[in-house]
Amino acid sequence: MRRMFGFIGIIAGTQFIVSLPAIADTTWVNGIISADTTWIPAGNPYIVTDSVIVDSAITLDIEPGVEVKIDSAKYIMIKGTMNAIGTVTDSIIISARDTTKRWSRLWFKDASAGSLCYCRIEYAGNSAIYDSSASSLVIEYNTITGNSTDYDGGGIHSYGSPTITGNTITGNLAESQAESQGGGIYSEGGSPTISANTITNNSANGGGGIYSKGGSPTISGNTITDNSAKNYDGGGIYSKGGSPTISGNTITGNSARGGGGGGICNYSGSPTISGNTITNNSFKYYGGGGIYSMMGASPTIKHNTITDTTASAIYIHSDSAKINSNNLYVTGYAVWNNSTSNIDARYNYWGTVSSDTIELFRIRDFYDDSTTGVVYYEPFLTDTFGIEEPSNSQLSISNSQLSIYPNPSFSNTTIKYEMPKATNISLRLYDISGRLVKTIYSGTQEKGYHKIEIPRREFRRGIYFIRFKAGEFESTRKLILM
């Protein structure tokens, strides 16, 4: 069967129509599509010999079962609309004509629109799907594999707010340039929805699985595994700026081979990182097998389950962080505070019910390096967290507001606290070997603020532990006498 497809070209400023006859089982296409067009399986394969442009206000529909093969460095640019909608059993193939010579990209220009569904998109060399800021773009249930770029976003590169859901995004690369980011997905600005995807075995110099820069993306319910940041940070996800929501993802086995944050790296911005399962990720430098929070960042980290065997599961080197109601199963430090800010890390389950173990082996902070801030970890959970935040009754014990200052101390040390009601308390001082040195106070105290002073002259310099008990509330704090 012979088919004629009309395209518009330009010679010496004159517009003309090129009619390209089809040979058996092949349809050759190039140039500008200036009328609504449908590609059907009977025309397979569609060979793109030169770049194709879907003109403004024009729609290109691609039916299930169509195979599109694109010549080296050529692209399909969409100024109007392109709908490539396959089915579960009859997908659309968009690939290279010669798999040793990569085609360029599907290029959705500003104000364009499109739907890509049940497509297999492979062997692109300049980001398989490039969204310049489409007005509407849905990318769902596709397999996006074996693509690469010299810059950012091996699989998908977006400046808009597309819906990216249910895809398998695997084996894509963004490694060629020193600053290449986002092996699987690169998103800059906008408010994309990135959900329920399987993002695996992608690689970039930074942000192996996903690189998010600015905007308010929602990254939820994805399986993000075995991705790699080759030279920098964020094996699974790199988040820079903006206020992303990173929730309900399974982030496993990713690596930051040249930096920190095997699972997630957060550089600046205020992300909410919640409800994720973050397991067995790794880093080479800096810290944060699970999460690495860098300069200018203010993350909220809550309701995650983090299993980690590196030196530090959560590494904080940022302006501030809130780390609450997480399950932390670690062999190294659960929280390493390398910032000057104090960190609220209350109501976590640290894999132990021993405050001494938490203080000594799960937290690195001011008491290990006086140039850094304190990690406040009490009250802590004695079992895995539930789905609810601590109730007001649980929070009441925090009104004790236990503080010890100065610490380290060259002089007398003051212990200050507030009692929510009349309670029996005890205050004891232990040396580093666990030997009781002195009972500072034992008795009943009334509701209100109280201060007790420890005379410096009574004790030698060294590291001590203050064990404070008020009713059922217990807290152990390290005290350094200089």
Tens of pLDDT along the chain (482 residues) come to 233 344 434 333 333 333 344 444 899 999 999 999 999 999 999 999 999 999 999 999 999 999 999 999 999 999 999 999 999 999 999 999 999 999 999 999 999 999 999 999 999 999 999 999 999 999 999 999 999 999 999 999 999 999 999 999 999 999 888 889 999 999 999 999 999 999 999 999 999 999 999 999 999 999 999 999 999 999 999 999 999 999 999 999 999 998 999 999 999 999 999 999 999 999 998 899 999 999 889 999 999 999 999 999 999 999 899 999 999 999 999 999 999 999 999 999 999 989 889 999 999 999 999 999 999 999 888 887 643 333 333 333 343 456 777 777 778 888 877 777 788 888 888 876 667 888 888 888 888 778 888 887 888 877 777 887 877 677 777 777 87
State the CB neighbour count (10 A cutoff) for residue 133: 18
Supply 81's token pair: 């609309």
User: Hey, what domains does the chain have and what are their CATH numbers?
Assistant: 399-481 (2.60.40.10)
Q: Which two tokens stand for residue 184?
A: 């699987």
Q: What is the pLDDT of residue 230?
A: 94
Supply the pLDDT for residue 36: 98
Q: Are 326 and 303 in contact (CB under 8 A)?
A: yes
Q: Which residues contact 354 (CB under 8 A, 6 or more apart)?
A: none
Please tell me the predicted confidence (pLDDT) of residue 433.
60
Of 5, 52, 8, 51, the closest CA to residue 26 belongs to 5
Q: Give the per-residue pLDDT at 393.
A: 33
Q: Cβ distance 286 to 233 under 8 Å? A: yes
* Residue 13 DSSP class: T
DSSP character at residue 355: H
Which tokens belong to 17? Answer: 């129509």
Closest CA to 171 of 218, 134, 208: 208
pLDDT value of position 4 = 36
The whole-angstrom separation of Cα 121 and Cα 92 is 8
Dihedral pair phi/psi, residue 41, rounded to 5°: -55, -30
CA distance 395 to 105: 54
CA distances from 73 to 106, 124, 203 (A): 11, 8, 22
The Cα 256–Cα 249 span in angstroms is 18
262 vs 314: CA distance, rounded Å: 10
| Distances, alpha carbon 214 to alpha carbons 211, 237, 256, 260, 268, in Å | 10, 13, 21, 20, 9
What is the structure's pLDDT at 385? 61
Say if residue 435 is exposed, middle or buried (CB neighbours under 10 Å; 0-12, 13-18, 19+): exposed
* Per-position DSSP letters for 275-314, written without gaps between them: S-EEES-EESSSS-SSEEE-TTB--EEES-EEEE-SSEEE
- How buried is residue 231: exposed, middle or buried, by Cβ count under 10 Å (0-12/13-18/19+)? middle
Classify burial at 50, counting beta carbons within 10 Å of its beta carbon; exposed 0-12, middle 13-18, buried 19 or more: middle
Q: What pLDDT was estimated at residue 480?
A: 76
CB 316 within 8 A of CB 293: yes
The neighbouring-strand residues paired with 129 are 106, 156
Q: Which of 50, 60, 4 is nearest to 27 (CA)?
A: 4
Phi, psi of 186 (to 5 degrees): -120, 125
**Which distant-in-sequence residues (6+ apart) come within 8 Å of 408 by Cβ?**
370, 480, 481, 482
